[in-house]
Each structure stands twice: as structure tokens, then as C-alpha cells.
Amino acid sequence: MTTLEDYLKRDAELYPSKVALICEEESITYKQLYDRVLQKAEQFHKIYTENQIVSFRAYSSIDCIVTYFALHLAGCVAAPLEKDLPEETFNAIADKLGSYSAPKGSADILYTTGTTGKSKGVIISHGTIIADAENLIDGQGFNHDTVFVINGPLNHIGSLSKIYPIVLLGGTIILVDGLKDLNKFFQAFEYESNKMATFLVPASIRMLLTFSAQMLENLKNKIDFIETGAAAISQADMEALCKLLPHTRLYNTYASTETGIIATYNYNNGRCIAGCLGKPMKHAKLLITENGLIACSGPTIMTGYIGDPERTATILRDGVIYTNDVAELDSEGNLHLKGREDDVINVGGFKVAPLEVEDVAMGYSAVSDCICIAVENKITGQGLKLLVVLKEGQILDKRAIALYMRSKLEPYKVPMQYEVVDKIARTFNGKLNRKFYAQK
């Protein structure tokens, strides 16, 4: 079996009455799902040509997933786009994609978030989907009984990739439309199973820890594992989650649209290490370049950027993806992420990864959220400034937080300036929006 749809057909034959998808009040079995996919694929055969790139809005719905499978089955390339795109923008992207030819074997075009530059359409092959699925199964313990709650956007790898192992194993997916309604998120976990799992970006974890810690703790015997990724999770949030869910596997994963799913680490194993992303998975290889950056190879990597061979060549050479992620490998072969090369701040000749500063600041009792930014300094050229969001009822004692930071960091990593703000700018998937502050 070489495509996700091959496994879906097998699931319909082996587990016809098993629940495959749940969304709101609608529930659908594997047989019902595959029948709907077949019916829609027949319609697509009549209106699209083989290998045509077809755009659609990635709603959190059963019909969206039916469309996704049906496009593949019809020989098309699926391009799920942000569900809330303005009509004019959606049509412009769809028209542009429709003019391109994707390489044979292509399954999807997934757009990056664009936080480090112009958003790019990444070509994902059918082989990459299967390799990512097998990496997740092997690395995180997905099985036939797993019930996975998907609450993120289905046009990005973080959530879309969780469909892959579930279909390979014949598990169950529950779709929730984001975390705007926390009650609906927690209602999903009322499903009769003690093998439940979910993917949460760090910003969502922080929100749940802040507003729904007790509700999370009540699920400690139901949640089998939680994966996080897309951005860095703080040591404080990791430790808090471990305390609430002592028996739950808690994974921090290194993955991107371009690299696929590369490494994962269960930080609830007695060694809660911030920035640790574990060892490479079964279908992934990585190395640290002379410049201290991560390079990845193997069947999980992208084919390239659609319609942009020049940009592709800047990061993909001889089957290796060269990232801008600064990292190191420890003596056990575990990957430790230090931040992005573009984010490093040069303080008088010393290179500071703001991620390290932010992680320490998040351990300070009064801080709810923060970002470390560069500011001009007459002596060092650049200096560090920490913008903080305070917890309710707290005030900022600048001397106290500076002393706390100094007790945890080398002197040149301690911010000289501190400012209270109402909120920290983030992208829709929880990443710190450093570009927003760089433009100030």
C-alpha cells in the first residue's frame, strides 16, 4: 500500500463499522467514509484532470476530509487553504496553483505560515505522507485504539499529519474547531476511551494551564499522550503539564512543512528538558552543520516549493534540507533546539538566542507571557529588552526580575530593559511573531 487512500480502503474492509470520524453531532464509520470518498472521487474525475492542483478551504469538518481523500483518489493534488481567507485572496491562490504542474507522485501543496518571509507552497508526496505516518506511529505509540482530537487547522502539517497514522492503523479522529470554545474541546474527551490523544501548540497549552488546569487534571487517566510543536514550549509549562498529567506521554516534536516529522521526545519521562526534541525517527536523518544548523534528509522531506525552483535550491540540495534552526546534539544523540539563526541577537560580540532568555523568564512567578527583542545600545550595538505580560494581580518589579534572570543566565544574556505589555504578538499557530517587533 503506497497511499493513504490504500489504507483507507483496507480500513473500510477490515473495520467497516468502526467509527472513523466525529465532528459535532455527526459520526461516520470507515465504510461510510470510504463510500463517500468514492462517490466524491467519481465527481472529481469528471471535472478535474489527472495531477491537477485543486484548492479548497480547510474547514474542520467531515466533508473537508472526504474532499481531501477524494482528490487524491481522483489523481489530483490537494491544496487545503486557510478556511478564513478572503474570497479574493483564496481565488488568487487557487488560480495561481491551477497554472502549475506538480511532479508525479505529489499528494499535497501545503502553505507555510510565512513568519520568516513570504509564504511558500510546499510540495508533499504520497511517499512522504506514509513516512511521516510511520514515524509518528513508531515514535509516539499511536495504535488501533487511539482516539485523536484534532483541534488545529487542517491546512498545516501540525494537525493534518495526525490523520496519517490514524488511517494507517484504523483509529478514530474527533474534529474540534479550534479552542475558541473550551467546553467543546473538553467535551470531545467524554468519548468512551482511555487511549485519547491530541496535538496542542505551546500557546494553547499555556491557555489551558491558565484557565482549565483542573479540567486537564481530571483527564489524567484518559489522555494517553499529547504532542506539542510549531513553537518552543517553556520549561515552566512543561513541568506544570507533567504534574497535572503524571501518566501521560508528553511529546515535544521537531517538524516543519519542509522537513516532515523528524524527531520527538517524551519530556514526562523523569527528565523534563526544555528544548530537547529527542532522537531522529525511523525514516529521518539529521546532522548539525558547521554553522550549528539542522540539516535533514530521508523520505519525509518536501519535493520542493511549487513554481519556485530558485527558492527550492536555497534550502534543498542533493536530497538534504538545510534549515535556519540552531541546535546541537548531546552525548546520547538527542536534538536540542536553540532557536532560529535569524533570531540570534548580537550583544557586544556575544550571540544570544532569545528563546533561552524567554524560557527563563517564563519561570518567573509574575510572568504570563513574554518575548525578548533587540534594541539599540550605544555600547554593545544591540541590547536585550524583555516585553512581559503579567499574571492577573501582579506588578513588575524590574530589579527583582533582573536578579532572577541573572541567577539563571550569563550576564550578557540578562535583559537591561523590561516593559509590561497587554499581549505578545503571535501567529495563528502560537509562534512568537518576531517579525512584528523587528518592524517597530
Report the pLDDT averaged over residues 365-385.
Answer: 89
Res 116: pLDDT = 41
Distance CA 61, CA 65 (A): 7
Condensed to tens digits (0 to 9), the pLDDT of residues 64-106 reads 999 999 999 999 999 999 998 889 989 999 999 999 999 999 9
Is the pLDDT at 355 greater than 90? The verdict is no
Residues 6+ apart with CB under 8 A from 254: 229, 262, 263, 264, 277, 278, 294, 325, 335, 337
Report the pLDDT averaged over residues 384-399.
Answer: 94
Condensed to tens digits (0 to 9), the pLDDT of residues 269-305 reads 988 988 899 999 999 999 999 999 999 999 999 999 9
Res 236: pLDDT = 86
What secondary structure does DSSP assign to 98-161, as a single string?
A: HTS-PPTTEEEEEE---TTSS--EEEEEHHHHHHHHHHHHHHH---TT-EEEE-S-TTSHHHHT
Least confident range of 55-64, 228-237, 293-302, 410-419 = 228-237
Query: Which of the pair, 403 or 437, is modelled with greater confidence?
Result: 403
Report the pLDDT averaged over residues 161-176.
Answer: 98
Res 429: pLDDT = 66
- Give which of 143, 172, 141 is closest to 65, Cα–Cα: 172
Mean pLDDT for all residues in the chain: 92
**CB-based contact 297:283 (threshold 8 Å):** no
Condensed to tens digits (0 to 9), the pLDDT of residues 202-231 reads 888 988 998 999 999 999 999 999 999 877
Cα 391 off chain centre by: 26
**CB-based contact 128:135 (threshold 8 Å):** no
Residues 4-338: name the CATH superfamily.
ANL, N-terminal domain (3.40.50.12780)
**CB-based contact 315:323 (threshold 8 Å):** yes
Residues 6+ apart with CB under 8 A from 295: 286, 287, 288, 289, 320, 321, 322, 323
Radius of gyration of the chain (CA): 22
CATH number of 344-438: 3.30.300.30
Res 115: pLDDT = 37
In the chain, where are the structural domains located?
Answer: 4-338, 344-438
